[in-house]
Amino acid sequence: MTDNESVDVIVVGGGPAGSCAAIVAARAGLSVVLLERGPFPGSKNMYGGVVYPRILDELIPNWWDEAPIQRWVTRRSTMVLTDTQALTVDFRTQAWGKAPYNGATAYRPDFDNWLARYAVAAGAQLLTSTTVIGLLRDASGAVIGVNTDRPDGKLRARVVIAADGVNSFLAKEAGLYKHTDAKHFTLGVKETLALPKEVIDERFGVRGREGVDIEIVGCTGGVNGGGFVYTNLDTVAVGVVLKTSKLAAQSLRPEQIIATLKTHPAIAALIEGGETKEYSAHLIPEAGLTMMPKMTTDGMLVAGDAAALCLAAGIWLEGVNFAMASGMYAGEAAIEAVKAGDVSAQGLAGYQHRLSETFVLKDHRKLRRAPELVLSDRVQHLYPQMVANVVERMFRVDNPQPKPGMRRILREERKRAGVRRRDLVRDALTGFRSYG
């Protein structure tokens, strides 16, 4: 690689978005360089646990035979916690334990590294341990390459695909983000705890490669966010997602919030004796459409977390699938632009079109109000207690008292939790419009 060398496409970032972009572009015969700042793809990446890989059907047929999966999620629970109560909605289906499957747990360093190998097999040149430190632009401002920390640093390309993650300094440098607001991000922290496979199978009620994903609300010590517990083959992951702007206000550190979650009676029994194998942290672009950048500029596209394509909608928490899809579409748009000889924003417009016409932006448009609702103070701090109390009174046998009616319980517990009726109705409507 020399100063003058130019390729068709540079993909910055060897995560799911970058690798899918590189696979698509390289398979079409374009010259592709895939840059990864870690020692191997996936080495900088962590997440909250479940990947939904169906979007890979068209790239890697029978991906499920090849992918480094820990467990197939056949049991999905949503848990509402208060300090002393837990209400769980628990669903399981054997259908998700066989092809084509639904969600899977995986270690991202394994999964991302696996996916990047398909890019290399398609002819992309993977350069690891290479940090991009800025964009190369021509006099008109069009992106014409990147500057790296390699000795022969500059690399030119007709199209740059910025899949450089949640902090995307490239998208910011290109002026695609209007501003960066801490309120739009959450911080995910997680412990991976080692336990024998048999113990995990027994505690979580699964067999073989079946796995469990538990999403939790109301366990984050007054900091808006949520928690999760999920099973790998011989480890259990436990973590929390926290609104960064609320941490300082509560004077609670992330590891303290995980520690409290781990001692909750509903969680402690699941992870008892687990030895911490790895602690990790990552930012999540949580605000959906509200925070999304312009996706295209002259000579450059933005994909994955770099484009804030992460769906944080409470009952749906997805990111890797949005990254893979946006990477694929960025690759396709780059092919069109290179072949047509027009890599301006207009020549790359096929990208925005594909995002708009598929689940990538359709899901985000439909659920545009969900992230704010899920992280709102009422959903976070008032409803968990109210709901848990309602259920506790429903199932409590208070003889010789007769059973109270449900309406009375609901009314009394709503008042006790300090929830105004009109707020409850309004939130229910917002939820119904989003999820309905």
Partner 1 sequence: MTDSNFIETMDSAEFRVHPDAHIVVDGAICADCTTRECVVACPANLFVPTADGGVVFNYEQCFECGTCYLVCTQAGAITWNYPMGGFGVVFHRT
Residues binding partner 1 (CB under 8 A): 37-39, 42-47, 107-109, 128-131, 133, 148-150, 166-167, 180, 182, 185, 187, 189-192, 232, 235, 237, 244-245, 247-248, 251-256, 258-259, 276-283
Element (H, E) at 436: none
Residue recorded with tokens 């009375």: 408
CB 162, min distance to partner 1, A: 14
Burial label, 377 (beta-carbon count in 10 A; 0-12, 13-18, 19+):
exposed
Shortest distance, position 229 Cβ to partner 1, whole Å: 14
CB of 194 to partner 1, least distance (A): 9
Q: For residue 141, is it left (φ>0), alpha (ψ between -120 and 50) or beta?
A: left
In angstroms, what is the minimal distance from the CB of 248 to partner 1? 4
As given in the structure block, the two tokens for residue 154 are 């500059």
Closest separation between CB of residue 132 and partner 1, Å?
A: 8
Nearer to partner 1, 186 or 434 (CB): 186
Interatomic CA distance for residues 107 and 136, integer angstroms: 34
- In angstroms, give the least distance from the CB of 187 to partner 1: 5
CA distance 223 to 243: 7
Nearer to partner 1, 10 or 237 (CB): 237
Q: Which one, 43 or 430, has the nearer CB to partner 1?
A: 43
Residue number, 88 or 131, with CB nearest to partner 1? 131
Task: Tell me the three state secondary structure of residue 116.
Answer: helix
What are the backbone dihedrals phi and psi of residue 389, each rounded to the nearest 5 degrees, phi first?
-65, -40
| Cα dihedral sign, 49-53-59-62 | positive
Q: Does an H or E element contain 372, and which?
A: helix 370-374
Please, which residue, 19 or 232, has the CB nearer to partner 1? Answer: 232
To partner 1, the closest distance from the beta carbon of 317 in angstroms equals: 16
Q: Which one, of 24, 41, 35, 31, lies nearest residue 9 by Cα?
A: 31
Which one, 177 or 351, has the nearer CB to partner 1?
A: 177
Smallest distance from partner 1 to CB 175, Å = 18
For residue 259, what are the CA distances in angstroms to 190, 254, 271?
A: 11, 9, 12
Please tell me the chain's helix, strand, coil percentages from 3-state DSSP, rounded to the nearest 5: 40, 25, 35
Q: How far is 330 from 301, CA to CA, in rounded Å? A: 7
Residue 59 identity (one-letter amino acid): L
Cβ distance to partner 1 smaller for residue 86 or 240: 240
Closest to partner 1 by CB, 186 or 326 = 186
